[in-house]
A = this chain, B = another copy of it.
Amino acid sequence: MAQTLGPRPLPSILLLSLVPVGAWLLVRPLLDPLPPLPAFHAALGLSIYAFLATIYLVPALGEAFIKARLFGRDLLKTYDTPIPESLGLVCASVYILVLILFIPFAFSDVFLNDYEDRSKHGLVVAEFPHQKLAVYLSSILSLLIATMLGFLDDVFDIRWRHKLPIPIIATIPLLLVYYAERGNTNVVVPIPLRMFFGTLVNVGPLYYLYMSLLSTFSTNSINILAGINGSETSQALIIALSVILNDLLYLPWPFGVRIPLHLLGGHTEFNVGGAWSAGMAYGSRELVERHLFSLYFMLPLVGVCAGFLYHNWYPARAFPGDTLCYVTGMAFAVVGIQAHFSKTLLLFFLPQIFNFVLSCPQLFGLVPCPRHRVPRFDKETGLLYPSKAVFKKRPSTVATVILKVFEGLRFVKLGVNAETGLLETTNLTILNVFLVNLGPMKEDSLVKVLISTQAAGSVLAFAVRYGLAWLLYDGNRR
């Protein structure tokens, strides 16, 4: 049964009704009375347009990508329609254009006409000091380099060993501007270690190393958790939403919320929000500014990811390519570095960390690594099954021990290959772990399991960050 795949229809009337909403959010900050965070309104409005641009442009440009030979076949389907690949380039272009168009909202004096007067009332924060413009621009530059390199990766098909360091190149502007602006390289020492090192340690060059490794991790960890429709995009979407939720806790809301943290094991309650205490920033203008910076990067990212997911959802009409993973990974690294919450950020990557650690035996050659590690599609049942890696010779002792431990933890299913009589294992990816434990399932069910896991990981991350962090750091640390 040959199936053809037309473009996914767009609910145009519903979508076009967003146009006036976005326009209102862009115009509102120019009207009196000035809202508390005028540039935040503008960022929201621009993000809506980013969403609309992406959802309309992706199907419109698919044809051109196929014509330029940027397409792939969906390996987990019965049909053979060419699916445009690297459409992450469209997302990245829209995203970066929106970030650039945001410059006058955040950095010029458009909204600052009666800022002086209102800041006395505690409701308005000076969005961005002008000197932060260089930091903002260096971040965009890093994102653009990541986009460029991601697209080159798609066009030239770079080998994964060669492309591991690519994100480091993309962080160069970020790091050099951090250096030129004499960025802070102090690290707060966890309480148990303070007797040795004191409260603050200046780690100097190590901090730059840490920043470039962070970007390498955030980029590649999304890239290796890929292969089924919607997986990359939904990971990026949920991480971005988690970062946004975390940022919102620090804004000066006009209302206050009390969170009973003892339920989570904390020893106190959190008073969140209230205009005067500026959320969890407790009146620290610097914290508010940092989290606003993060929001300005995350809101449009959610816009483009949501718009793209509409077409990337099972059965996918467009593939993201490496470009999307590079630009989203770099965006997370940028906010983690510039807004100084890289440890919290890493907590949102729990499924990626699990997947990376699990993958290590294959990445480092202990266990054979086939070209694709995606689950195996069975045309008869229409279900996905765990894919397998077969040893070509007797596995080393280390490999056997690791695989036995993984089997005990129900991460893999071992067996003996019928043809060679040698050991075989399910591939070491989180997607195969799901299939091993939950049984064969359809592709869209699997991506839903992935999404639920990512969301559950974020809930856990919040619990750890706000419930347990007091064990290692002073209570009010961001």
Q: A138-B137, A141-B144, A144-B141 are in contact. Are A155 and B104 (CB under 8 A)?
A: no
A103 to B157, CA, bound (A): 31
A137 touches B69 (CB 8 A): no
Query: Which one of A169-177, A274-282, A286-294 is at the B interface?
Result: A169-177
Within 8 A of B (CB), among A170-195: 172-173, 176-177, 179-182
Give 1 or 0 for each of A78-116: 1 = CB within 8 Å of chain B CB: 000000000000000000010011011001100000000
A44 lies within 8 A of chain B by Cβ = no
Question: What chain B residues lie within 8 Å of A180 (beta carbons)?
Answer: 103-104, 107-108, 130, 133
Give the residue of B67, B156, B179 whose beta carbon is less than 8 angstroms from that of A68: B156
A213 lies within 8 A of chain B by Cβ = no
Please classify the interface of chain A as helix (H, G, I), strand (E, B), loop, or mixed, using the class held by over half of its residues.
helix
How distant is A102 from chain B, measured CB to nearest CB, in Å? 9
A104 touches B141 (CB 8 A): no
Q: How many residues of A contact B (CB 8 A)?
A: 37
Q: Which residues of A contact B (CB under 8 A)?
A: 64, 67-70, 97, 100-101, 103-104, 107-108, 130-131, 133-134, 137-138, 140-141, 144-145, 147-148, 151, 155-157, 169, 172-173, 176-177, 179-182
Q: A144-B145, A156-B64 are in contact. Are A100 and B172 (CB under 8 A)?
A: yes
How distant is A398 from chain B, measured CB to nearest CB, in Å? 36
List 20 A-B residue pairs with CB atoms under 8 Å apart, sorted by A's residue number: A67-B156, A68-B155, A68-B156, A68-B157, A69-B69, A70-B155, A97-B172, A100-B173, A100-B176, A103-B177, A104-B179, A130-B131, A133-B180, A134-B137, A137-B138, A137-B173, A140-B173, A144-B144, A144-B145, A155-B155
Q: Which residue of B lies closest to A99 (CB)?
A: B173
How distant is A134 from chain B, measured CB to nearest CB, in Å? 4
Q: A103-B173, A176-B103 are in contact. Are A148 and B144 (CB under 8 A)?
A: yes
Question: What chain B residues lie within 8 Å of A140 (beta carbons)?
Answer: 141, 173
Q: A64-B156, A69-B69, A155-B155 are in contact. Are A172 and B101 (CB under 8 A)?
A: yes
Question: What chain B residues lie within 8 Å of A134 (beta carbons)?
Answer: 133-134, 137
A179 touches B141 (CB 8 A): no
Question: What chain B residues lie within 8 Å of A148 (beta carbons)?
Answer: 144, 147-148, 151
A137 touches B131 (CB 8 A): no
Question: What chain B residues lie within 8 Å of A182 (beta carbons)?
Answer: 108
Question: What chain B residues lie within 8 Å of A67 (beta carbons)?
Answer: 156
A179 to B109, CA, bound (A): 10
Give the residue of B101, B130, B137, B157 whose beta carbon is less than 8 angstroms from that of A137: B137
B156 touches A104 (CB 8 A): no
Apart from the given pairs A104-B179, A130-B180, A134-B134, 15 other A-B contacts in the complex at a CB distance below 8 Å: A64-B156, A67-B156, A70-B155, A103-B177, A104-B180, A107-B180, A108-B182, A131-B131, A133-B134, A134-B137, A137-B138, A140-B173, A144-B145, A147-B148, A148-B151
Question: What chain B residues lie within 8 Å of A176 (beta carbons)?
Answer: 100-101, 103-104
Question: What chain B residues lie within 8 Å of A70 (beta carbons)?
Answer: 155
Question: What chain B residues lie within 8 Å of A97 (beta carbons)?
Answer: 169, 172
How distant is A254 from chain B, measured CB to nearest CB, in Å? 29
Question: What chain B residues lie within 8 Å of A130 (beta carbons)?
Answer: 131, 180-181
Question: What chain B residues lie within 8 Å of A101 (beta carbons)?
Answer: 172, 176
A108 touches B64 (CB 8 A): no
Question: What chain B residues lie within 8 Å of A103 (beta carbons)?
Answer: 173, 176-177, 180
Question: What chain B residues lie within 8 Å of A69 (beta carbons)?
Answer: 69
Question: What chain B residues lie within 8 Å of A100 (beta carbons)?
Answer: 141, 172-173, 176
Q: Which residue of B lies closest to A86 (CB)?
A: B155
**7 tightest Cβ-Cβ pairs between the two chains A and B:** A137-B137, A107-B180, A103-B176, A133-B134, A108-B180, A134-B134, A68-B156
How distant is A443 from chain B, measured CB to nearest CB, in Å? 30
A156 to B93, CA, bound (A): 15
A134 to B103, CA, bound (A): 11
Q: Which residue of B lies closest to A70 (CB)?
A: B155
A133 to B134, CA, bound (A): 6
Question: What chain B residues lie within 8 Å of A107 (beta carbons)?
Answer: 180
Q: Which of A108, A137, A151, A179 has the most CB of B within 10 A?
A: A137
